[in-house]
Amino acid sequence: MALENFEILSPFIVRKIWGGQRLAQLKSLNETGQDLPIGETWEVSRLAEGPSGLGNSDLHSEVSEEELPYLIKFIDTSDNLSVQVHPHDEYAKQVENSVGKTECWLILDAEPGAGIYLGFKPGITKKEFETAVAKCEDVSRYLIFHQVQRGDFFFVPAGSIHAIGKGVTLIEVQQSSGITYRVWDWNRVDSEGKSRELHIDKAMDVSRFESDFNDASTFNIQKGLLSNSGTRHVISHPDFNVWIVSGDWEPEKIQTTERLIAIISLDGEVEVDNQRMQPYQAMLGKKLPDVLKSSKSLLIVT
């Protein structure tokens, strides 16, 4: 099935022990008989290990890396994710034969007091952090905790130490890479007493400890992005541009490239040309639609 006009995609569902109930509810998914809850839905993905569906085919088979160098997913947590970091392009190419992984998050919902860990606190050194990791200490005390609410935005460049906390639902736009280096997993073990694999040496190779890198300006923190009307540009990266549309459709404000264009409903039905997309679904197409109507907010990635 060749991708011509905008087509509705079906997500690749990722079940995690730390997943929550929110995505199943938002997307009206039947969870009867499932052992693990949904942690992520990969709405726009051409990664071979988790491609989004396109009709009777999938995006990995139908589109190229050049057409789709980004990945979009919903994430919902009932427990903290591991403390982790992603490599930049050069390191990923040399070590993993992959592109790196810079990402960004838009918070859709959060329980009271919930938040994310992002960046090292001022003065934390690599030696200090590495020693704490080796001793299996609670290393979250070395990280900056940001309490979050709906509409908050965070840019997470490669090299940023981070962990999404429990009780958070968000949408993530990232480079099309599955490379994650876990440095600490809250000393958790499974039912057999086994802990998840860590990647401490690689994590230390790529983590950025410089004070100016861990400054709030690096993370481009923005508030209230889902409360304003209009078409708003949020972030630019060589592999993706992110826009939020609430209310009036203003296509003249959106810059397109040779990449495919993704439209994701954040909380309401969306009409794209002659098609209707349900809440929390995604569409992919080659050019901006002539008609775009939404009762609430949506995300556009170009």
At 258, is the pLDDT very low, low, confident or very high (cuts 50, 70, 90)?
very high
| Ranges of CATH 2.60.120.10 domains, the chain | 7-219
- Reply yes or no on whether the pLDDT at 143 is more than 90: yes
* Residue whose tokens read 């859709």: 108
15, 141, 150, 182: the catalytic one is 182
Q: Which residues is 38 bridged to in the sheet? A: 15
Average pLDDT score over the chain: 94
The pLDDT tens digits of the residues spanning 179-197 come to 999 999 999 887 787 888 9
Q: According to the model, what pLDDT value does residue 239 have?
A: 98
Stretch 58-79: mean pLDDT, rounded?
97
Has 22 been annotated as catalytic? no
Task: Check residue 208 and report its DSSP letter.
Answer: -
At 2, is the pLDDT very low, low, confident or very high (cuts 50, 70, 90)?
low
Q: According to the model, what pLDDT value does residue 44 have?
A: 98
Q: According to the model, what pLDDT value does residue 249 have?
A: 85
- Reply yes or no on whether the pLDDT at 34 is more than 90: no
- Reply yes or no on whether the pLDDT at 230 is more than 90: no
What DSSP line would sit under 26-80, residue for residue?
Answer: HTT---TT-SS-EEEEEEE---TTSPPEETTEEHHHHS-TTT--EEEEEEEBSSP
Locate 275 and state its tokens: 């098609």
Q: Are 248 and 294 in contact (CB under 8 A)?
A: no
Residues 7-219, CATH architecture: Sandwich (2.60)
Task: Provide the percentage of residues in the chain whose pLDDT is more than 70.
Answer: 99
The residues, any chain, with a CB within 8 Å of residue 193's CB and separated by 6 or more, are none
Locate 247 and state its tokens: 């209310």
- Reply yes or no on whether the pLDDT at 33 is more than 70: yes
What is the CATH number assigned to the segment(s) 230-301?
2.60.120
* pTM higher than 0.85: yes
CA distance 100 to 93: 7
